[in-house]
Homo-oligomer: A and B are copies of this chain.
Amino acid sequence: MNSLELLAVDGLPEVQPGDDLGELISARAELKAADVLVVAQKVVSKSEGKMRDLASVVAGNDAHRIAKQLIALPDPRLVQVILDESVRVLRSERVLITETRHGFVCANSGVDQSNTGQPDVVTLLPDDPDASARRIRQRIREGHGFDVGVIVSDTFGRPWRLGIVNVALGVAGLPALIDLRGTPDDFGREMHATVLAVADDLASAAGLVMRKTARTPVVVIRGVELEGDGSGHDLIRPAAEDVFR
């Protein structure tokens, strides 16, 4: 992995519910075996119809209360959708930080109002981002005759640090973590606590090419050279071990 190349996949049409996203990507991406494809959650969710129209949402008491408290979330219907997507609220102070049904801890359960094209329609996270990644991988195999790694990514904020970074929600055909514990450092000393979140690093790198407004939701990363098969769940710190949950 002495060099890496990142290439935007151009020419994807506006994705609609029911579209075969893997096929759309396979038809446009110039791929080589063992490339890693990073695909933005937004287009995955759209293709899977994971959207809700706020016009059909009736907000409950909790949603009304939170919407009154949080300047950034004035619409109680949007708060209701966020609560529907969560199993637990970690903070509703300045921001709404929730744990999603998948186990992700993030702002607003990953519910997003931008780039849907309709003011009252929001996207939700895919039900099973690993499965979404596997389906895209399968289509690439059918279209190209070889395998690639696939990451479904989204942008998350972080405690302690400002700005959002792209992270991996779903993973297929590559490891999510590389565990270097027990391997020696350059001087033969055993390295402690060194587990690399390689799928998050890949998502982050792809985020540089995606940018928010550039309509490039799919990025090819070439030269990764990783063996193994992981899951987006590998990247979720178990609640029992998480001193900040």
Q: Which A positions have Cβ atoms within 8 angstroms of B?
A: 1-8, 10, 72, 91, 93-95, 97, 104-105, 107, 113-117, 119, 155, 157-167, 176-177, 180, 183-187, 189, 191-198, 200-202, 204-205, 207-209, 211-216, 224, 234-237, 241-245
Instruction: Give the dominant DSSP class at A's interface.
Output: loop
Chain B residues with CB under 8 A of A72 = 192-193
Chain B residues with CB under 8 A of A234 = 162
Cβ–Cβ contact B189 & A114, under 8 A: yes
Q: Which one, B177, B186, B194, contacts A162 given CB within 8 A?
A: B177
Chain B residues with CB under 8 A of A235 = 161-163
Q: Which one, B2, B4, B195, B196, contacts A205 given CB within 8 A?
A: B4
Task: Give Cα A95–Cα B237 distance, bound, in whole angstroms.
Answer: 14
- The complex is assembled from copies of this chain, and their number is 2
Known pairs A115-B185, A158-B237. 11 more at Cβ < 8 A?
Answer: A4-B208, A105-B161, A107-B193, A114-B189, A160-B245, A163-B235, A164-B197, A186-B213, A186-B215, A201-B208, A208-B224
Closest-CB distance, A206 to chain B (whole angstroms): 9
Chain B residues with CB under 8 A of A242 = 159-160
Task: Give Cα A3–Cα B215 distance, bound, in whole angstroms.
Answer: 14
Chain B residues with CB under 8 A of A160 = 104-105, 236-237, 242, 244-245
Residue among A72, A159, A160, A236 facing the most chain B CB atoms (10 A cut-off): A160
Q: Which one, B6, B189, B237, contacts A4 given CB within 8 A?
A: B6
Q: Which 3 A-B pairs have the closest CB atoms?
A: A163-B197, A205-B205, A204-B204
